[in-house]
């Protein structure tokens, strides 16, 4: 049994005792706290109603959690727009479609079937700030309930926003629907038995793409570990080769992460999902600017020739951005940190190396739908196989490791001393410690876990051997620091 409370929401396993797992008691407390803060955050005239969108993925506990959240919102006097089965990006966009004051997404994303979560949105359909998330956590602990009288109970309306989401994606200037249709792509889709099996085939059909469905029934009985990593996508790889498809597409249960499989069955690698989309958008801006006698930034205004990803993402995005004269900025790990920096820089594209594409021209949230549409547009324009497209990008490899400690106090000692050891290198302390070795085109990023006495270590280099060696070198130095 697990319950994790964080500034981005509440997540846990279903069943067990309150405060030790995601139980009805915890769901009600957290939803009530969200409503309390909503009223403080957005002032309304007397008698004016609050409205919140609720959407969920297809996991087994979804209906139960949805009923509890919806009922609590109503009991707080808040009207509910129930989006039903809806991807995370669809629910985010539904907040603005419905003119709502916020939203709650019921999904544990890539976590296994026994997990669920409440992810909280503001009136823009974006994740709450760290400060607001912390305020909700504090409010939930007070358990100072005061529900609405019978005449003020909220009402529920049902609305499916899937087609509105698809319409918005296809209406984007950068999505070349005609080129994709002419390319005549055949793809295999693995939707891991969740809402991706509803929305993704509809998008692909509108794009004129032949879609061979794998695990597309939204039963919530995930056919495999739902995280879109190569080890979990062997069936997809085999089907792509057997069907002679142009590529494979994998999404996680709430469709905010995206990974591709090449036509030969090999992973495109999820780190390169964002890289490929950025390559397309920047190259497109440069080409249009040259044809019109303008600068690229004049073409893409109000956005800039900049990109953002978190510190643990591949430097390939930086390389591609700089290739087109743009500027790359790193953010602390966490989607809200990435989107905050994206707002500040006005960047054209951003996201995370886990396959999360954030395209501000659509909305500020990871969105596999727009990721697919932009990737296929790129592929259609380049007129090359997916393996050939991958080969055009700078090649890097990431090795993951960790340091387990019995004493949590040693974590800060290790991180601070490593800054001294590598003082001559490029050291970033925005989120843990990231050390970049520019000559070798390598970096290592160390972050402490919020829940365990461990330090997570990501190391990247032009070869996997070099990445692993860098990670092991840092672990060796860390052990020396603590006298191990």
Q: Which residue, among 133, 9, 138, has the nearest Cα to 69 in the 3D structure?
A: 9
Q: What digits encode the pLDDT tens for the residues 281-313? A: 999 999 999 999 999 999 999 999 999 999 999
Is pLDDT above 80 for 8? no
What pLDDT, in 10s, does the model give residues 73-89?
999 999 999 999 999 99
- DSSP state at residue 267: B
- Name residues whose C-beta falls within 8 Å of residue 288's C-beta, 6 or more positions apart in sequence: 294, 296, 299
Q: Are 124 and 95 in contact (CB under 8 A)?
A: yes
Q: What is the mean pLDDT of residues 192-220?
A: 98
Query: Mind listing the pLDDT tens digit for each residue in 117-147?
Result: 999 999 999 999 889 999 999 998 887 899 9
SS3 246: coil
Q: Is the model's pLDDT at 183 over the cut of 80?
A: yes
Whether the pLDDT of residue 1 is over 70: the answer is no
Token reading at 89? 């990006």
Q: pLDDT > 90: what percent of the chain?
A: 90
Q: What's the pTM? A: 0.96
The answer to whether residue 451 scores a pLDDT higher than 80 is: no
Looking at the annotation, which residues are catalytic? Answer: 109
Convert the pLDDT of each residue in 407-431 to its tens digit. 888 999 999 999 999 999 999 999 9
pLDDT band at 271 (very low <50, low <70, confident <90, very high): very high
For residue 483, what pLDDT is reported? Answer: 82
Average pLDDT score over residue span 161-167: 98
pLDDT at residue 46, rounded to an integer: 85
Strands (E), 353-479: 356-358, 397-404, 426-428, 433-437, 442-448, 454-461
CB 379 within 8 A of CB 183: yes
More confident residue, 4 or 184: 184
pLDDT in tens, 35-49: 999 999 999 888 899
Distance CA 337, CA 125 (A): 15
- Exposure of 124 by Cβ count < 10 A (0-12 exposed, 13-18 middle, 19+ buried)? middle
Q: 337-348: per-residue pLDDT in tens? A: 999 999 999 999
- pLDDT confidence band for 432 (50 / 70 / 90): very high
Mean pLDDT, rounded, for 246-253: 97
The pLDDT mean for the chain works out to: 95
Q: Which residue's structure tokens are 């544990």?
A: 108
**261-284: b or e for each residue (b if 16 or more CB lie within 10 Å)?**
bbbebebbbbbbbbbbbbbbbbbb
3-state secondary structure 269-295: CCHHHHHHHHHHHHHHHHHHHHHHCCC
Give the chain's end-to-end CA distance (angstroms, integer). 33
A 10 A CB-CB count for 161 gives: 24
The answer to whether the bond into 302 is cis (omega within 30° of 0) is yes
Question: How many Å separate Cα 371 from the centre of its chain?
Answer: 11
Residue 70: which residues within 8 A CB-CB, separation 6 or more? 54, 80, 82, 156
């Amino acid at each position: 049994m697990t319950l994790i409370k964080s500034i981005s929401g509440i997540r846990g396993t279903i069943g067990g005792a309150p405060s030790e797992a995601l139980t009805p008691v915890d769901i009600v407390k957290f939803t009530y706290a969200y409503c309390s803060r909503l009223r403080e955050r957005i002032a309304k005239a007397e008698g004016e109603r609050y409205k919140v969108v609720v959407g969920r993925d297809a996991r087994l506990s979804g209906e139960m959690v949805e009923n509890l959240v919806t009922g609590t919102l109503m009991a707080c006097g808040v009207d509910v727009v129930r989006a039903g089965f809806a991807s995370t990006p669809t629910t985010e966009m539904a907040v603005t479609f419905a003119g709502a004051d916020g939203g709650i997404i019921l999904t544990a994303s890539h976590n296994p079937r026994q997990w669920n979560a409440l992810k909280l949105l503001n009136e823009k359909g974006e994740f709450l700030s760290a400060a607001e998330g912390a305020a909700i956590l504090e409010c939930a602990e007070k358990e100072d309930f005061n529900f609405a009288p019978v005449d003020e109970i909220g009402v529920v309306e049902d609305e499916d926003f899937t087609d509105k989401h698809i319409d918005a994606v296809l209406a984007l200037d950068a999505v070349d629907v005609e080129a994709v249709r002419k390319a005549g792509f055949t793809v295999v889709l693995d939707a891991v038995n969740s809402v991706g099996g509803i929305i993704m085939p509809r998008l692909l059909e509108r794009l004129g793409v032949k879609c061979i469905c794998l695990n597309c029934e939204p039963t919530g009985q995930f056919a495999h570990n739902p995280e879109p990593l190569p080890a979990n996508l062997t069936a997809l790889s085999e089907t792509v080769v057997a069907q002679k498809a142009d590529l494979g597409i994998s999404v996680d249960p709430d469709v905010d992460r995206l990974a591709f499989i090449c036509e030969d069955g090999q992973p495109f690698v999820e780190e390169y999902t964002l890289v490929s989309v950025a390559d397309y958008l920047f190259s497109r801006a440069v080409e249009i600017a040259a044809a019109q006698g303008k600068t690229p930034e004049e073409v893409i205004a109000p956005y800039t020739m900049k990109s953002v990803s978190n510190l643990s993402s591949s430097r390939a995005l930086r390389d591609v951005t700089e290739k087109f004269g743009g500027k790359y900025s790193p953010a602390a790990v966490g989607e809200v940190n990435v989107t905050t920096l994206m707002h500040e820089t006005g960047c054209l594209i951003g996201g995370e190396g886990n396959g999360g594409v954030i395209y501000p021209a659509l909305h500020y949230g990871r969105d596999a739908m727009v990721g697919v549409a932009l990737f296929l547009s790129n592929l259609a324009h380049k007129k090359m196989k997916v393996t050939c497209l991958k080969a055009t990008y700078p090649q890097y490899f990431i090795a993951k490791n960790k340091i387990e400690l019995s004493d949590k106090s040693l974590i800060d000692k290790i991180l601070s001393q490593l800054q001294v050891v590598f003082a001559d290198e490029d050291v970033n302390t925005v989120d843990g410690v990231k050390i970049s070795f520019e000559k070798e085109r390598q970096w290592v990023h160390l972050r402490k876990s919020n829940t365990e006495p461990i330090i997570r270590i990501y190391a990247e280099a032009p070869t996997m051997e070099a990445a692993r060696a860098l990670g092991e070198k840092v672990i060796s130095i860390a052990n020396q620091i603590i006298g191990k």
